[in-house]
Each structure stands twice: as C-alpha cells, then as structure tokens.
C-alpha cells in the first residue's frame, strides 16, 4: 500500500466513547469500510424495562455496499453483544481469534444466524487484505483469552487499535502480550494509536491475573470447613481456570451455575482454553452428594444483576441452591461503574443469611493502568493519540498521560461518538457528524421502544395514569354515559375521595361546555378534557399523570 501524503482515512466511532460498553468503530477509505467491534451496553436505571442497548446503524446502512467486514478484538459482551442484532441489517463476514469466534458462534446459533454469517478464524500475526485495508491481529492480554490488538494498514497510514488490554508478563494461559510487535510497528511509523482508557485514572501497573490465584489459595486454606461460592464474570476464563486449579488442589468438587458461565466454560473447554482435571466438574444436582467442605460453586452475578444466579441465591429464590450460615462467598470482581448499589445490596443480603463474604484482593482488572499505557505509547510512538473505551473522564485521564509524554494538544484527538475524523500524514480534524444513538432491545422487540416510550414509562412510574371514559351519541355528540374516571398509580382513591370528587366535577363541567358549544370533533373534546383535568390535577397535587380520554360512540 503506497502512502499518499494527501490521502485521508475516516474514523467514525458509532458508540463506546461516552460510556463503558457498546464499542463499535468504523474505518472508511475510498469504497471500503471495516468495522471494529460491535458491542452492547447494559441499560441504566432510567431505561425502564429495557434489556439491552445496541448501537444505531444509520451510517452503516447508508453505506452498506462499502462494508467489508467486522473485526472483533475479543469476546466480551461490550464488544460482541450487538452482532446478532446488527447482522440482521448489515451482514458482513466476521474476523476474530479462535476463542472469540467460538463465543460468537454460540451467540449466532441462539439467534439462528450461524448459517447466514461468514466467519473467519484469524491467527496472531496473520494479515487480512480486505478492500483498501490490511488488518493484522496482535497478541495482547486481557481478562479473557485470545484478546487482540489490531494494526489497520491504509493508504493514509497505519492505525493501531489496542482493543481492551493489559500487560501481563505471567498470564495463566498462553503467552504474554507481543510487545516486540508493537515496537516494530512503532519503527515503521504509526499514524494514530487508539488506546484503551478504562483504567487511565489508576497509577502504576495492573497486577498479573496469577496474583488472584495466590489469594484463592489463602481463602481455600483458611475456609477449609465451609462450602465456598465464587462469583465472577462468566467470560473470565483464566479466573475460572484458577478457581478449578485451587479446588482440585484442596480436594473439592466444582459445580457451575448461571447460563452464561455454563456456555462459556463449555466453549472454552471444547477449544482447549480451560483444562479441567478429571472428576472435578460435577453437575449441580450431584454436589449435594458431597459434604459442604468438599464443594465449590462458581456462579454468575458478581455485579448484583437481579436475574443472575447469585442474586437468586441471596434472595432465597434459587431452585437448587440455598445460602446458609457458615458458607463462604468470594466476590471475584470489581463493581462496574453504576453497579455499586446492586453489589452492596447482594453483599448485605448474603451477610444477613450468615454467609462470610470475601471481596479483598480477589480481583485484578483486565485493563492497563497508567504505566502500561505509557509503555504502549513509547513502543508505538504514534503521531496522533485517540483515547478510546470509556467515559469522558477516563479518556481525559489518558489525554493527560499523553501530554506528560510530550504530545501537544493538536496531536491528542478527543472525539465523540458520531464524529467523522479525517486523518492523514498532513493533519487530522473532525469534518462532520453521523447519526448515532441507542436502539433499545426489550424482550423480542428491537427498536420498538424509543426515547418517547421510555419517557412515557418514566411518567407512568413517577405520576401514574388517569383514564377518562365517555360514551357519546353518534350524530349529536350528546353524552349518554360517563364521564368516568379511572386512575392507577396516581393517588390511593379511597383516601382521596375529596380530590377525586372535585376532579369529577371539573370533568363534568368540561364535557357540558363541549355539549353547549355543540362540539362534535372528537379530538377537540379530548383536548378540552385533557386541559381542564390536567390543570386541576397540577394545581392540587403538583403532579402530571398521563391523561387518556377514551370516547365510545353509540
């Protein structure tokens, strides 16, 4: 690929730059677009009833003939979770490493998309030529196996995207990060580095995953007489491996609970990323045949998710497993920003049931701290820095690190989701915006719940609803029955009879006024009712319930 000094590459983040989650970025050059990652976000407290949030795809749909493929850095939900929804609109081949592909295939199978989607397993060091791009996968470490950074070669220059990474010199499985390759790319000359910002506020280095193994060893030694539960992320295959190793060492049998945990362990075992000693893993129903002090349960729910296995155990709702006094429960994760309340609630519930909850030193992060970020920059030596992956404050923290390394503010590009960044040897600037946003998945519906529906749900949850029912004569619009008031979630009617009686009077007057004026237009009658009742209710209660007039014709 000949570098052309004047040629420009477009980088378009479609999500992931204002939050932890929903990572998806498009790279466009000429008639080619490649997409890096395709993740979901989990709904905030204000997204009532929403199960998942996926990115809006207007930009990819408008340029669908240019989209050549999806390149996936690793198998976490915030990088692969939206694929089953996005592929329905934009079907392109998926390129990923072996374990990542295994997890994606499982997901596609659940959505009946396996036969419709082309997939290619890529090895580290392999280059994929696709349209105007060439993409190389580089070995990194993360809290899931087979994570990769990408070197994206374009006529405008090389972009290095770290994916989620940390530097682990002693990983539990496989090799350490390929720092040498980052250095070689740095010597070639890298146009821009898009680097993980999640832990950019934390000084020092992230501890090795192996250090958690040492903590487990101590916990198992100290609690030799109790049943042990370990709650962790399903996708942290190395963590699961260490729990199994420690259990085996102390002669305990292991059960696994939680759908995502069972799925990922099955996939990882099949592909050889987890080695389970014989007769160690048991079906959950068989655990009761062994004394408590000889069993370990690995479970999901370390983030306090209300439907996950640990939450159901904490609230006594789990069909098969009940927490009892003397149990030891190890929380092997940090709360993700926003989940602190749920996690505290779970710990309280478990403690109330007499369990001993352990959460000190039982987790290390999968993301680079400040010293590792500096290390990557000093190896890659990019012309431009584009901090990615995280809320604004995390990306700002990376920008500060990069300034300390001697970069000026013109070479640190703080872009937002939807920005079109044009970048080349002779400069970089945001030249436009594309439409980005959240598409809500609620049950089986994708996108049928929008901001307006969410706003309605918020109003209903805050102020309730009042329904007015009215029967009119077809020709004359004379009132035959009603108007009657029905309310839900507004006031407790039995204790507010005075208020409801007055509201009924206001309503009667409004309807009489319409009759006197011979108004037969339904929408006018509805508006009159809404205005009169809405004003009265607001004056008396300072609430704005949803008002729905229903007119029937006879």
Active-site residue numbers?
Answer: 196, 367
Q: How far is CA 404 from CA 165, 397, 398, in A?
A: 21, 11, 10
Nearest to 366 by CA among 77, 36, 72, 144: 144
CA 186 to mean position of chain CA atoms: 32
Rounded CA separation 185/189 (Å):
6
Rounded CA separation 430/8 (Å):
12
Rounded CA separation 396/197 (Å):
8
Exposed (0-12), middle (13-18) or buried (19+): which is 221, by Cβ within 10 Å?
exposed
| Maximal CA-CA distance, the chain | 88
SS (H, E, C) 271-315: CCCCCCCCCCEECHHHHHHCCHHHEEEEECCCCCCCCCHHHHHHC
**Residue 69 C-beta-side C-alpha neighbours within 13 Å:** 19
Rounded CA separation 482/489 (Å):
22
The token duo for 425 is: 């040897």
SS3 of residue 210 by DSSP = helix
How many other CB atoms are found less than 10 A from the CB of residue 189?
13
DSSP label at 176?
Answer: P
By DSSP bridging, strand 465-472 and strand 438-442 are unpaired
Within 300-401, strands assigned E span 328-331, 356-358, 384-388
């Amino acid at each position: 690929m000949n570098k052309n000094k004047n040629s420009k590459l477009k980088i378009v983040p479609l999500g992931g730059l204002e939050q932890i989650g929903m990572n998806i970025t498009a790279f466009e050059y000429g008639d080619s677009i490649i997409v890096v990652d395709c993740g979901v976000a989990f709904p905030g407290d204000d997204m009532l009833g929403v199960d998942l949030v996926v990115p809006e795809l207007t930009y990819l749909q408008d340029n669908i003939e240019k989209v050549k493929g999806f390149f996936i850095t690793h198998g976490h939900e915030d990088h692969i979770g939206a694929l089953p929804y996005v592929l329905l609109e934009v079907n392109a081949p998926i390129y990923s490493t072996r374990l990542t592909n295994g997890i994606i295939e499982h997901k596609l199978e659940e959505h009946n998309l396996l036969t419709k989607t082309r997939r290619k397993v890529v090895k580290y060091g392999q280059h994929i030529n696709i349209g105007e791009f060439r993409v190389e996968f580089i070995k990194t470490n993360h809290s899931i196996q087979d994570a990769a950074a990408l070197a994206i070669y374009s006529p405008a220059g090389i972009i290095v995207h770290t994916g989620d990474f940390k530097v682990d010199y002693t990983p539990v499985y496989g090799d350490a990060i390929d720092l040498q390759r980052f250095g070689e790319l740095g010597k070639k000359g890298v146009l821009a580095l898009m680097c993980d910002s999640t832990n950019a506020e934390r000084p020092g280095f992230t501890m090795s995953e192996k250090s958690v193994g040492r903590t487990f060893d101590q916990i198992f030694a100290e609690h030799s007489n109790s049943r042990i539960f370990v709650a962790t992320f399903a996708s942290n295959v190395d963590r699961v491996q260490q729990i199994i190793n420690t259990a085996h060492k102390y002669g305990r049998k292991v059960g696994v609970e939680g759908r995502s945990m069972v799925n990922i362990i099955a996939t990882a075992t099949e592909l050889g990323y987890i080695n389970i000693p014989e007769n160690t893993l048991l079906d959950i129903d068989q655990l009761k045949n062994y004394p408590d002090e000889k069993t370990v349960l690995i479970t999901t729910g370390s983030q306090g998710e209300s439907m996950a296995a640990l939450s159901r155990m904490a609230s006594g709702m789990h069909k098969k497993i009940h927490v009892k006094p003397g149990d030891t429960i190890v929380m092997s994760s940090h709360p993700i920003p926003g989940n602190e309340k749920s996690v505290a609630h779970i710990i309280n519930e478990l403690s109330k049931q007499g369990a001993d909850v352990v959460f000190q030193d039982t987790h290390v992060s999968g993301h680079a701290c400040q010293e590792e970020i500096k290390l990557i920059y000093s190896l890659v030596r990019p012309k431009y820095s584009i901090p990615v992956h995280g809320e604004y404050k995390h990306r700002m923290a990376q920008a500060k690190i990069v300034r300390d390394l001697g970069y000026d503010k013109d070479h640190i590009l703080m872009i937002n989701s939807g920005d079109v960044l044009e970048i080349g040897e002779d400069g970089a600037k945001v030249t436009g915006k594309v439409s980005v946003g959240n598409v809500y998945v609620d049950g089986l519906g994708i996108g049928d719940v929008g901001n307006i529906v969410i706003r309605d749900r918020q109003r209903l949850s805050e102020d309730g609803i009042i329904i007015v029912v009215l029967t009119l004569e077809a020709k004359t619009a004379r009132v035959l029955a009603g108007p009657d008031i029905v309310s839900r979630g507004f006031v407790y009617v039995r204790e507010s009879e005075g208020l409801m009686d007055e509201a009924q009077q206001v309503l009667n007057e409004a309807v009489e006024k319409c009759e006197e004026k011979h108004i037969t237009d339904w929408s006018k009658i509805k508006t009159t009712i809404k205005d009169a009742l809405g004003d009265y209710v607001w004056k008396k209660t300072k609430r704005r319930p949803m008002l729905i007039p229903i007119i029937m014709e006879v």
